[in-house]
Amino acid sequence: MKNPVILQFFHWYYPEGGKLWAEVEQQASYVGELGISHAWLPPAYKGSEGGQSVGYDIYDLFDLGEFDQKGSIATKYGDKAGLVRAANALNRAGVGVMMDVVVNHKMGADEKEQVKVNRVDESNRTDIDDEVVECEAWTRFTFPGRAGKYSQFIWDYKCFSGVDHIDNPQEQGIFKIINDYTAEGWNVEVDAELGNFDYLMGANIDFRNHAVRSELEYWIRWLLEQVPCAGFRLDAVKHIPAWFYRDWLAYVQSLRDDPFLVVAEYWSADLEVLKHYLEQVEGRTMLFDVPLYMNLHHASQQGADFDLRTLYDNTLVADDPFHAVTLVGNHDTQPLQALEAPVEPWFKPLAYALVLLREQGVPTVFYPDLFGVTYEDQGQDGNEHRIDLPAVAELPMLLKARQRFAHGIQTDYFDHPNCIAFTRSGTDEAPGCVVVISNGEEGEKSVSLGEGLANKPWRDYLGKREETITTDEEGNGVFTCNGGSVSVWVLEECMGN
């Protein structure tokens, strides 16, 4: 892929009413023209909240908005026919579809079962009480609305390792289910937070059950027949044993000759944790570069007090660029969400330049930054808040600049705490650029571009600076940018091409 870019084509507060698939279909040509190579769609499967579900409370993986279940036929985003139309429109525009894979848990069971459980210390999941509690739990999924179409598999308590609610006695907490697969406790090769972070929510799927693994292999074959897919985003992988995704991804890739683009959400700012996970899955997925994201967040908060020279310290894109997917925001970090840590608006053009125009990593664009959104929700303070996230005005131009000018060898000029720059040398087929960024006052950077670019006039593609900068006989030039801003300098002769 030439300069791939992922668009997260949704956000947490996208309006209900089945409108997204129609919007995706309508906007497919536009995002293709911007150079988007992949569109990451939200979970397209029926959730426990039916038409109100964002999609991460998975109920039925085989219901893409086709069956009357959980109070609706369509999902929050539309019906199955609309999803297929949207996917086909993206494909016609040269944009691959990335489906969101949510297989950590299930919610909204159809029936209760008699089960035996052990109580678990929520703050230390390895502390499992020896007492056996006989109770009822919502662990049986029969999908009566689908009536066995596509799959007749029934999920029961043997498919799960834990729940967070039991009846008779009625209790909330974390409970390890006692079955044929849980004698040794929780799964291994999961995150070590809270002792063992296998359990997250709902009925926790246990991948040690061979029938479960077989069903998930069958499901992905079915999904590929229903929707044209070019890749996947894997949800909550820190809670899923790495050995499962190592094997499952090998199976998925065996279904096609051309490679899938796969990125997993392992939300940790610890680079060593991310590197360890990549070793465990034998490099079969990319990961979101959470350490870089947190650096961008802090840089946006600290302004000129942040040392831009340290921006890529201890980041995945610097350590292992071939497995790094960079981002400037997502549905979990947007305001009023659990992982709220937004990049401040003033810094977003700088942040997008730092992920879109560099050589390393595959960048992600977040829906609100491209289209702008407004929503309301209750904050942690208990009050209602109205959130306005305006579109980043420079983003379409930065996306076009990635396709037109982000080519060739990269040279960094990270020699000042408040003003940094990097160049892309260009290739025989495509021109390069000079990118200058300041988080303080107006800045400038002396750059050597070589005799091949001697005596050449350059202009700011973003239009932030009005002057023309001409290199000298040796191809040297002093390139500028405004305070708290970014300029992308390109050959004047290429400005209108």
Give the pLDDT mean for 380-390: 91
For the chain, give the number of residues. 497
pLDDT at 267 over 80: yes
My answer on whether 93 and 217 are in the same domain is yes
CATH of the domain at 290: 3.20.20.80
Task: Examine residue 1 and state whether it is found in any structural domain, yes or no.
Answer: no
Q: Output the six-digit token pair for 385.
A: 């808040």
Task: Examine residue 59 and state whether it is found in any structural domain, yes or no.
Answer: yes
Residue 105 annotated as binding? no
pLDDT in tens, 114-136: 999 999 999 999 999 999 999 99
Q: So what's the pLDDT on residue 340?
A: 87
pLDDT in tens, 214-230: 999 999 999 999 999 99
CATH of the domain at 127: 2.40.30.140
Task: Examine residue 258 and state whether it is found in any structural domain, yes or no.
Answer: yes
My answer on whether 270 and 280 are in the same domain is yes
When pLDDT is cut at 50, 70 and 90, the band that residue 100 belongs to is very high
CATH of the domain at 414: 2.60.40.1180
My answer on whether 79 and 90 are in the same domain is yes
pLDDT at 156 over 60: yes
SS3 169: coil
Q: Closest by alpha carbon to 325, among 241, 263, 245, 400?
A: 263
Residue 455 annotated as binding? no
pLDDT at 101 over 90: yes
Which residue is associated with the tokens 């908060």?
Answer: 301
Q: Output the six-digit token pair for 352.
A: 């997008």
pLDDT in tens, 424-449: 999 999 999 999 999 999 999 999 99
Q: Please check whether residue 215 is in contact with residue 147, taking contact to mean a CB–CB distance below 8 angstroms.
A: no
* Domains in the chain, number: 3
Residue 239 annotated as binding? yes
When pLDDT is cut at 50, 70 and 90, the band that residue 380 belongs to is confident
Q: So what's the pLDDT on residue 83?
A: 98
Q: Closest by alpha carbon to 98, among 242, 222, 227?
A: 227
Q: How many CB atoms lie within 10 A of CB 147?
A: 9
Q: Closest by alpha carbon to 263, among 316, 186, 187, 189?
A: 316
Q: So what's the pLDDT on residue 1?
A: 55
- Residue 26, phi then psi, degrees to nearest 5: -70, -35
My answer on whether 224 and 348 are in the same domain is yes
The sign of the dihedral angle between the CA atoms of 226, 2, 279, 259 is positive
Residue type (1 letter), 329: G
Task: Examine residue 172 and state whether it is found in any structural domain, yes or no.
Answer: yes
* Residue that is last in its domain, among 364, 380, 400: 400
My answer on whether 56 and 123 are in the same domain is no
My answer on whether 446 and 347 are in the same domain is no
pLDDT in tens, 163-194: 999 999 999 999 999 999 999 999 999 999 99
pLDDT in tens, 439-494: 999 999 999 999 999 999 999 999 999 999 999 999 999 999 999 999 999 999 99
CA 264 to CA 488: how far, in whole Å? 31
Q: So what's the pLDDT on residue 338?
A: 83
pLDDT at 497 over 80: no
Residue 88 annotated as binding? no
Give the pLDDT mean for 244-257: 97
Residue 13: C-alpha distances to residues 134, 331, 382 (Å): 40, 8, 18
Task: State the burial class of residue 407 (Cβ atoms within 10 Å of its Cβ: 0-12, 13-18, 19+).
Answer: buried
Percentage with pLDDT > 70 across the chain = 100
My answer on whether 320 and 242 are in the same domain is yes
Higher-confidence position of 433 and 336: 433
Helix (H) or strand (E) holding 395: helix 395-405
My answer on whether 254 and 375 are in the same domain is yes
* Residue that is last in its domain, among 333, 365, 400: 400
For residue 139, the enclosing domain spans 106-208
My answer on whether 383 and 422 are in the same domain is no
**pTM, to two decimals:** 0.96
My answer on whether 237 and 330 are in the same domain is yes
Q: So what's the pLDDT on residue 381?
A: 86
My answer on whether 220 and 195 are in the same domain is no
pLDDT at 312 over 80: yes
* Residue that is last in its domain, among 366, 382, 400: 400
My answer on whether 364 and 255 are in the same domain is yes
List strands edge to edge, sheet with 457-460. Answer: 410-413, 419-424, 433-438, 485-491, 457-460, 469-470
Q: Among all residues, which ones are annotated catalytic?
A: 235, 265
pLDDT at 201 over 90: yes
Helix (H) or strand (E) holding 389: strand 384-389
Give the pLDDT mean for 337-352: 94
When pLDDT is cut at 50, 70 and 90, the band that residue 495 belongs to is confident
Q: How many CB atoms lie within 10 A of CB 413?
A: 18
